[in-house]
Amino acid sequence: MSNNNYLLDCEVIHKIPGRIRIKSNALKYLGSLKNEIEDQIKVLKSVKEAVISDITGTIVVKFKNDDLSEENLLSLLQNILNGYLVEIHKNEKKMKPDKYVIERKLQEESPKEIMRKIIASAVLLLMPGPKGELTGMRRLFNYKTLSTISLALPVLKNGINSIVKNKRPNADTLSSTAIASSIILGNEKTALTIMILERFAELLTVYTMKKTRGVIKDMLSVGESYVWKQNEDGTVKKVPIEEISKGDSIVVQTGEKISVDGKIIKGNALIDQSSITGEYMPVSKKTGEEVFAGTLIKSGNITVEAQKVGDDRTVSRIIKLVEDASFNKADIQSYADTFSAQLIPLNFLLAAIVYASTRNMQKALSMLVIDYSCGIRLSTATAFSASINTAAKNGILVKGSNYLEELSKSDTVIFDKTGTITEGKPKVQTLQIFGKNIKEERMLSLAAAAEETSSHPLAVAILNEMKERGLNIPKHKETVIKVSRGMETTVGKDVIRVGSRRYMEESDVELLDSVDAAKRMLNRGEIIIYVARNKNLIGIIGVSDPPRENIKKAMNRLRNQGIDDIVLLTGDLRQQAETIASKMSMDRYESELLPEDKAKDILKFQSIGSKVIMIGDGINDAPALSYANVGIALGSTKTDIAMEAADITITSDDPLLIPGVIGLAKNTMKVIKENFAMAIGVNSFALVLGATGILPAIYSSILHNSITILVVGNSLRLLKYNVNK
């Protein structure tokens, strides 16, 4: 294989008789598996020695000159590595190198704080300087110079810190040098101009970040702002949710949201947990059972002992995760940082060359006030922050900028079936009668009598059909559960059995008349429920989980965006998987998979170079969501598992937001590339003008920072992007 970009690719890079060296990226991430894999290669009779170097990602195999072919050895190595794919993938994630220079964390500053510094710098710029000629120490120790140094302190401190701790300069190192040089030359105006324009560009970035934080908090808001806290004497008091601590008791009544994760210590209630578990039927909860923040009490009153509050709740953890750019920085963002950081020494070199050739400090200073880093770094951060903001306003939580970049490069989309392509709410589609003198309604009623006490989704489908038709369940005796087969009860003198074909056959119910109807239902992807009275089949019920509205349209849009492989991975039976894959015109499918099987399939796709998006409901798909390049949880599920396993959570049930967020990601990358071109082009032109002396240092600073503001402003256009177009 010639392409060594993919994890499992193996390539022969050198060979002589009896010795061969093979390269594979996977060999770099073996960790403690190295000796084990060497031993597996040595098992071959013709192999004398096998040595892996995890530094170079190669293996040297020494062998006897007999029947061992290059192709067989490559195939063997790939098969062995494939068996350890999960461990290799984990090690690869852990060993990613740190690419970032030390930069100030802009999210730690508020827009008001930055605005105050801009105003202070502007006032200082307009104020007259000290009277008389400034010589000696008076040049540095006067109110204007000291005030300028005070305002520049965060930049100066971080610029020096980067050199000391990171052993390389950053954008603030360059700014610090330019500011310090201006002050030493007695030109505070240049220093203040640099500071004002740089801080204004930072203000736009910080404003976007703050706005994004607010939108995310609103989007993830669960529970009430105020709750009823129960005191030790039994009285209750209305207090802000922020005042609730672990162990406190809160009283929640009908119609209110529960605002903490906790345990019921008094009362019982019917609770709508659809926002947490995805269950659309309210659940009865009693003393001793757990409840979750964000769920709604439909009826009843309960007292809850708080177990998770404040920063322990999902909302706080997710907001922090989104803000923490150092862990979720896109490759292009780290490239922007690295690229611009590598150019910073060039500025110092140019300044030295210009000064050496002209002996003019002002011309040399022009080389220091113009840098590529500022515009590229700020505009890239602003673009990603604006995109995350836009996504959040549309009910899409993106955990970091790296996931937007991965979305823009993806070529494969994998869907789970139940609750993702389908609604996850089975419905009765077909009723077929076989008994004489019996109507549909009577057959359905008898089936509902057997299923009345069951919480199985298929039983719920039958009971919901009863409610929609306004039918009553006939009186019946105790229901008997036949595990993995069905349900049985007695209505009058008749034994009613409802369940699978196997259950009917074991109960000696004749099914011959139902064969053709059952085949038709199966071909439509319906699940068949048989209904028998005594030993006679009286009907069959076809239940299916209908596709989500707009799911087919979403897949068509994905193809228009360049996704060339759409795959279904499901735990459902083959027939149901085949039917839904055919209806949706998907490229292929795999059925009857366990959650860990889905994760392994995703790693196999990635090992051949596919960039994979996994779309699931965020509950049983957690392993697959975490292993995909981008995991998207679709739907109103908001469990800790869903939020933490998925990289992107779409909180509504609209599948059109999937191509919507991919379109946003592609547009984000387009804007960032535009910013790169503008920042590099204009700053390069300004460097030439500064070096020739055409552009004085103060005007070089104005031009440089103006282009920084321009590219940051270009990034802000993403705040208005229409995700639904």
Residue 290 sits at φ, ψ, to 5 deg, of -85, 150
**The domain boundary residue, chosen from 95, 119, 154:** 95
Looking only at Cα atoms, what is the longest distance across the chain? 115
Residue 453 shares a structural domain with residue 524 = yes
Shared domain for 431 and 540, answered yes or no, is yes
Question: What is the per-residue pLDDT for 532?
Answer: 95
pTM above 0.85, yes or no: no
Residue 614 structural domain = 397-422+549-662
521 and 554 in a common domain: no
Residue 66 sits in a domain whose CATH number is: 3.30.70.100
Lowest mean pLDDT among 243-247, 309-313, 385-389, 464-468: 309-313
Q: How far apart are CA 339 and CA 347, in angstroms?
A: 13
Between 418 and 555, the higher pLDDT residue: 555
The pLDDT assigned to 550 comes to: 92
pLDDT range class, residue 278, cuts 50, 70, 90: very low
580 and 471 share a domain? no
Give mean pLDDT, residues 700-723: 87
- The pair of three-digit structure tokens given for residue 712, joined into one six-digit string: 């940051």
Is 617 part of a structural domain of the chain? yes
What confidence category does residue 330 fall into, taking pLDDT thresholds of 50, 70 and 90? low
Burial of 28: CB neighbours in 10 Å, binned 0-12, 13-18, 19+? buried
Last residue of a domain, one of 662, 678, 702: 662
Are 436 and 573 in a shared domain? no
Q: Are residues 511 and 572 in the same domain?
A: no
Q: Is it the case that residue 611 has pLDDT exceeding 50?
A: yes
Looking up residue 600, the CATH number of its domain turns out to be 3.40.50.1000
Whether residues 561 and 594 fall in one domain: yes
**Residues acting as catalytic residues:** 416
> Which of 642, 662, 682 is the C-terminal boundary of a domain?
662
Shared domain check, 444 and 492:
yes
Q: Does any domain span residue 656?
A: yes
CA–CA distance, 488 with 285 (Å, rounded to integer):
27
CATH of the domain at 483: 3.40.1110.10
Residue 417 resides in a domain: yes
The pLDDT of residue 312 is 56
56 part of a folded domain: yes
How far does the chain reach from its first CA to its final CA, in angstroms? 42
Is 701 inside a domain boundary?
no
Judge whether residue 659 has pLDDT over 90. yes
Whole-angstrom distance, CA of residue 725 vs CA of residue 659: 10
Same domain, 577 and 524: no
Strand order in the sheet with 47-53: 11-16, 19-23, 58-63, 47-53
pLDDT band at 174 (very low <50, low <70, confident <90, very high): low
pLDDT for residue 323 is more than 70: no
Domain tally, the chain: 3
Check residue 636 and give its pLDDT: 57
In the DSSP assignment, the letter for residue 571 is S
CA distance 390 to 489: 55
Angstrom CA distances, 177 to 156, 189, 192, 447, 589, stand at: 8, 15, 13, 82, 60
Residue 65 has pLDDT above 70, yes or no: no
Residue 544: is its pLDDT beyond 70? yes
Q: Is residue 576 part of a domain?
A: yes
Statement to judge: residues 583 and 513 lie in one domain: no
Look at 88-97, 379-388, 607-616 and tell me which has the smallest mean pLDDT. 88-97
Q: Please give the pLDDT value at position 280.
A: 47
* Cα–Cα distance for residue pair 455/304, rounded to 1 Å: 25
658 & 605 share domain: yes
Same domain, 554 and 457: no
**Mean pLDDT confidence for 350-369:** 78
Structural domain contains residue 594: yes
| pLDDT higher than 60, residue 382 | yes
Decide: 343 and 141 in contact? Cβ < 8 Å.
no
b/e sequence 180-211, b meaning 16+ C-beta within 10 Å: bbbbeeebbbbbbbbbbbbbbbbbbbbbbbbb
Gap between the Cα atoms of 518 and 530, Å rounded: 10
58, part of any domain: yes
Compare 614 and 643 and report the one with higher pLDDT.
614
Question: How far apart, in whole angstroms, are the C-alpha atoms of residue 237 and residue 227?
Answer: 8
Ramachandran sector of residue 151 (left: φ over 0; alpha: ψ -120 to 50; beta: rest): alpha
pLDDT category at 466 given cuts 50, 70, 90 is very high
What CA–CA distance (Å, rounded) separates 171 from 149?
Answer: 17
CA angle 328, 330, 331 (to 5 degrees): 130
Q: Quote the CA–CA distance of 295 and 302 in Å, as a whole number.
A: 13
